[in-house]
Amino acid sequence: MQKLLKSRNLTGWALASPLVAILALFLILPIFTIVVVSFWQATEFSIIPAFSWENYDFLFGSPVTYRVFWNTLRYALITWAITLTLGFTIAYYLAFHIRSLTWQIALFLLCTIPFWTSNIIRMISWIPFLGRNGLANSTLISWGVIDQPLDWLLFSDFSVILAFVHLYTLFMVVPIFNTMMRIDKSLLEAANDAGATGFQTLVNVIIPLTKPGIMIGSIFVLTLVMGDFITVRFMSGSQSANVGRLISNDIGLLQYPSAAATAVVLLITVLIVIGLLLRLVDIRKEL
């Protein structure tokens, strides 16, 4: 019996070893390298592989760091709230108002069409639309809604959030829609037979059963927004910054230890956010 169990254990380890090796090589080793480099010193001309807290002292001692991290978190939270509202609404409509499976698939694929192109192309496409002489301002002026072009439509927090929502809403729609499709329709019929209103059914039946999908979508959106840098750079006209841009600027100046320290702090922040979300609901049911 012991030999059989030992044989099974060895077989399990043998089957898991390729995945473990891949994770160690492409995930654990790079993260370990970033952590190590974050403690190195750097001058204008060279990197000194000597242990030092210099990068973290500078990072936490600068008020700019706190403003940039708050800006990053603000972008993430606003984008999360909007994408959750849109994603839940779209998924709810597809799952419960479209009866035909063919139409569900067709409409879902329709939602994915914009994602067949590059993120950068989709993001930059907003610039001529939101510009002073763009379609949005021209339409509003022709309708008599405004007398002069609105400057805040482009190169502002509004345009940054708009681009984020456009880029990442689908990451919220997919897991929520997948979870809603697994809900037993007899539960909805039972709630209706018990006299529950549509709102009561939504709050007491659909939302609780959709929590795993909401959490997965939230993790996708929050991590993607907090790690993004190119969207903030283009859509704010370089007038705003987030942690991703801070890291990008350090890399451009060849300050790799400083960039690594900022990346480590960002990684810890994202892991804390994910940890808090995972404590709210068990998403293993969805995996």
Residue 240 maps to a domain: yes
> In total, how many domains does the chain have?
1
- Domain CATH code at residue 211: 1.10.3720.10
SS3 track for the chain = CHHHHHHHHHHHHHHHHHHHHHHHHHHHHHHHHHHHHCCCEECCCCEECCCCCHHHHHHHHCHHHHHHHHHHHHHHHHHHHHHHHHHHHHHHHHHHCCCCHHHHHHHHHHHHHHHHCCHHHHHHCHHHHHCCCCHHHHHHHHCCCCCCCCHHHCCCHHHHHHHHHHHHCHHHHHHHHHHHHCCCHHHHHHHHHCCCCHHHHHHHHHHHHHHHHHHHHHHHHHHHHHHCCHHHHHHCCCCCCCHHHHHHHHHHCCCHHHHHHHHHHHHHHHHHHHHHHHHHCCHHHCC
Per-residue pLDDT in tens (0 to 9) along the chain, 287 residues: 555 556 666 776 777 788 888 888 888 999 999 999 999 988 777 788 888 899 999 899 888 889 999 999 999 999 999 999 999 999 999 888 887 778 888 888 887 877 777 888 888 888 888 888 888 888 888 888 888 888 888 888 999 999 999 999 999 999 999 899 888 888 888 888 888 888 888 888 899 889 989 999 999 999 999 988 888 888 888 788 889 888 988 888 888 999 999 999 999 999 998 888 888 777 665 55
| Beta-carbon-side half-sphere exposure of residue 90 (alpha carbons within 13 Å) | 23
Residue 39 maps to a domain: no
Question: Tokens 């370990």 sit at which residue?
Answer: 32
Task: Give the domain range for residue 181.
Answer: 61-285
Residue 177 maps to a domain: yes
Residues in the chain, how many? 287
Residue 156 maps to a domain: yes
Query: pTM of the full predicted structure?
Result: 0.87
Residue 45 maps to a domain: no
Residue 74 maps to a domain: yes
Residue 162 maps to a domain: yes
